Amino acid sequence: MSDNIIETAIERGLFDDAPWALFIDIDRLQHRFALLNDAFPADTLHAVAVKANPLVSLLRQLVDQGAGLEAASFGEIEVARLAGADDHRIVYDSPAKTVEELQRALHAGIYINADNLSELQRIDGLNPPEDARVGIRINPVIGAGDIEATSVATKASKFGVSLTRNRRALLEAFRRYDWLRGLHVHTGSQGLELDALVEGVKRCIDFADDIDADPAAAPVETIDIGGGLPVAYHPHDETPGVDQYATALRDEIPHLFSGPRNLITEFGRWLFAPCGLAVSRVEYVKESPAGPIATIHFGADLLLRTAYRPDDWYHRVTIHDGDGRRRSGDETQLTIAGPLCFSGDLVARRRPLPRPQPGDFAAVHDTGGYTFSMWSRYCSRAFPRVFGVRKTAAEALTFQPLHPGE
């Protein structure tokens, strides 16, 4: 529906006042959440990762569909509350929680995943209430995957407690703290094969089984398997569906789905990324020895990772004429540059694409997750306009402005 979105948005004058916008296909988002729900046991808490897309009204749609929310900071807890999430359905994962934040989360009944053994000591010092719900993040140490900067399961990762180096200390913690009842694993984000994701969860469950076999330790009541399911940014990428992931988990670790433990997931990218389309008017086109350069109105401010690590964070781009019709035919080696004051501010580098004219539009696909949540204020450019797009029963598109915090 992306071509249709662009043509209709132009026709409705949405680019008359400002040259660019981000569109989120809400029907698609809800469909993907329904797929996630269907793939896992019905009582799974799907705590959607707020960091992927912190727009309150979008999160509210998911909360209304039964989602919980995963917060990586106290600010995200506030976003989750605004989106209507009950405190009992919020999972708090920051690696830098202060004593005061821990105190507030404990007493609100928020589920806390501690990041390290010192944090457990801190929590103990706060005399957790009887009904406190606390887990500890383990690092399953399965290796880096394809993208170093988002890998979280190497020996040197900054997240969680290494299962290889600290297994004994972790077991000791389950003996010492009777309020510690959960294990958390998030093996990586994009760049990981299905086998690696499953292996990360398997190591976590094997450890949970060891804890349960220890008569001196409190049993593991909750397993949080994090997120990390990759999406196909490149047309050649073949990525697993959520049903394949769930089937692989069920095959490899049958008691993950059938045992008495509570199950939590924290999906972000897989839900949101394919639902977003960023569209900018092409302001100028100039020549260079390396081919034409089209200047548009977003760059590293929206696509931080793409600008700095273009090979890891590829996005598909299409070129459209002034009425939104997709251009095809003769291709050139096109570079698409953002508006910011540094030369690495590039969205695409020497891509085989049709040559645009000023007044055309460039559309960057799969931009629904980890884009404006990483928005950079560099050059003081206006915060993105975001529109939620839906199809009515009569197949007409509706565009609803979505503002942060509402």
Ligand X SMILES: Cc1ncc(COP(=O)(O)O)c(C=O)c1O
CB of residue 350 vs ligand X: minimum separation in angstroms? 29
Nearer of residues 34 and 216 to ligand X, judged by Cβ: 34
Which residues, including other chains, have CB under 8 Å from residue 65's CB and lie 6 or more apart? 30, 33, 34, 37
**CB-nearer residue toward ligand X: 268 or 324:** 268
Of 167-175, 260-268, 275-283, 352-360, the window that binds ligand X (rule: CB under 6 A) is 260-268
- Tokens (6 digits) for 112: 């806390």
Residue 181 burial (10 A CB sphere; 0-12, 13-18, 19+): buried
Residue pair 3/209 in contact by the 8 Å Cβ criterion: no
Q: Convert 373-397 into a string of H (helix), E (strand) and C (coil).
A: HHCCCHHHCCCCCEEEEEECCCCCE
Under the binding rule (CB under 6 A), the answer on residue 240 touching ligand X is: no
Instruction: State which of positions 75-104 bind ligand X (CB under 6 A).
Output: 93
**Shortest Å distance, C-beta 174 to ligand X:** 20
Asked if 70 is part of the footprint of ligand X (rule: CB under 6 A), the reply reads yes
Among 15, 23, 267, 361, binds ligand X (CB under 6 A): 267
| Residue 139 DSSP SS3 | strand
Stretch 194-233 residues interacting with ligand X (CB under 6 A): 226-229
- The verdict on 67 binding ligand X (CB under 6 A) reads no
Provide Rg for the chain, Cα atoms: 23
- 284-286 and 276-281 beta bridge pairing: unpaired
**Which residue minimizes CB distance to ligand X?**
227
Candidates 54, 128, 268, 274; binder of ligand X (CB under 6 A) is 268
The residue among 92 and 177 lying less far from ligand X, judged by its C-beta, is: 92
Q: H/E element holding 92?
A: strand 90-92
In three-state secondary structure terms, 168 is: helix
Please give the backbone phi and psi of residue 314, each rounded to the nearest 5 degrees, phi first: -70, 145
Of 25, 119, 266, 345, which lies in the binding site for ligand X, with binding defined by CB under 6 A? 266
- Position 320 contacts ligand X (CB under 6 A): no
Q: What is the rounded distance in angstroms from the CA atom of residue 369 to the CA atom of residue 271?
A: 8
Nearer to ligand X, 128 or 226 (CB): 226
Per CB under 6 A, 49 contacts ligand X:
yes
Number of residues located near ligand X, criterion CB under 6 A: 16
Positions that interact with ligand X (CB under 6 A): 49, 52, 70, 93, 186, 189-190, 226-229, 266-270
